[in-house]
Amino acid sequence: MHDYPTILAIESSCDDTAAAVISNGKILSNIIASQQIHQIHGGVVPELASRAHEKNIISVVNEALIKANINKNQLNAVAFTQGPGLLGSLLVGCSFAKSLSMALNVPLIAVNHIEAHIFAHFIDDPKPNFPFLCLTVSGGHTQIVMVHSFDNLEIIGQTLDDAVGEAFDKTAKLLDLSYPGGPLIDKYAQNGNPKSFQFPIPDIADYNFSFSGIKTAFLYFLRNNCQKNPNFIQHNLANICASIQYTLVEILFRKMIKATKHYRVNQVAIAGGVAANSELRKRMIAFGIEQNIEIFIPKIEYCTDNAAMIAITAHYKYLNKVFSDKLVTSDPRLHLNYA
């Protein structure tokens, strides 16, 4: 065992092939190859994603090692995303990591993708202290998680249907924007008025969310307005984007405020791809100042899928001697670790 381990981490859960090298808890490289092929299909095509991972993985790993100035014989462990995600995509990273760990005779570390989004907060200073509350918002997940420790994550609330990232992407698709639509809605919203149009805020119990109703409301809103004015979208794009973005962030916020008050936490974090959203980031900062709560917002490159977050999670697993058996397999529906 090494007190200052050097670890190669691979992330291949969806449509980005990524690799990072971490040494003694410091990220030395963080490489990502995004798959453009899905743009023409308006969403991720699983079979195309796994084929692209196979094509990219060797060069992405090589680049990560070269950038970190690390020879593969210096690695003390190999980590990979076990799940959740697309099975074919996950299998590419899992098989590659297993083979490399066997060839180098070093431990293998399986990492949960959603836990890694949360533990991205441990890459840079200041780091949160346990326990803290984390709003995890991605293309597949919307959860409020009480993070008790590295191996004890309690889901306080979650979406009952679509994830908020999906709501961003689906509304963007109705506006004829390309995939993934979240960043484009964010971009066009910059020049719009968030109060131009109103959309319903669902009334869901506890700390849970629902985003399917707003998607339907948005579809009818566009249909009605486009019937009256065929150029409605073109003439109002910025205001439409600002209004839908405001509503989606408001839905997240109401539950977050409720959970923060009920659990009386003084540290709140956001994580996952939607944490890159400028409106959400802005409101989190204002919320922190207003409530005297410490807010943790990851750098943009650590919000969307990346291997640095897999590497930092693997670093703590290594220190706690949490290794995986060679028989470990990919799990598309992997759950959070809750003691």
- Is 153 a binding residue for ligand KG4 by CB under 6 A? The answer is no
Per CB under 6 A, the segment of 43-51, 126-134, 215-223, 266-274 that binds ligand KG4 is: 266-274
* Nearer to ligand KG4 among residue 87 and residue 104 (C-beta): 87
Q: How far apart are CA 124 and CA 199, in angstroms?
A: 37
Per CB under 6 A, the segment of 3-11, 20-28, 224-232, 274-282 that binds ligand KG4 is: 274-282
Binding mask 278-317 for ligand KG4 (x = CB under 6 A): --------------------------xx------------
| Contact by Cβ (8 Å): 319, 24 | no
* Nearer to ligand KG4 among residue 75 and residue 249 (C-beta): 249
Q: How far apart are CA 42 and CA 59, in angstroms?
A: 26
Q: Number of C-alpha atoms within 13 angstroms, CB side, residue 162?
A: 17
Q: Which amino acid is at 312?
A: I
Task: Report CA-CA distances (Å) from 326 to 2, 92, 270, 315.
Answer: 20, 15, 33, 19
Which does residue 140 bind out of ligand KG4, Zn ion, none, counting CB within 5 to 8 angstroms by kind? ligand KG4
In the list 140, 157, 192, 298, the residue contacting ligand KG4 (rule: CB under 6 A) is 140
- Is 171 a binding residue for ligand KG4 by CB under 6 A? The answer is no
Q: How far apart are CA 236 and CA 130, in angstroms?
A: 45
Give every strand in the sheet of 142-149, ordered side by side. 152-158, 142-149, 132-137, 267-271, 294-296
- Is 182 a binding residue for ligand KG4 by CB under 6 A? The answer is yes
Cβ neighbours, 10 Å, residue 307 = 34
Min separation Cβ 234 and ligand KG4, Å: 22
> What angle is formed at CA 134 by the lines to CA 131 and CA 137, rounded to 5 degrees?
160
- Is 273 a binding residue for ligand KG4 by CB under 6 A? The answer is yes
The site that binds ligand KG4 (CB under 6 A) totals a number of residues, namely 19
Min separation Cβ 186 and ligand KG4, Å: 4
* Nearer to ligand KG4 among residue 5 and residue 140 (C-beta): 140
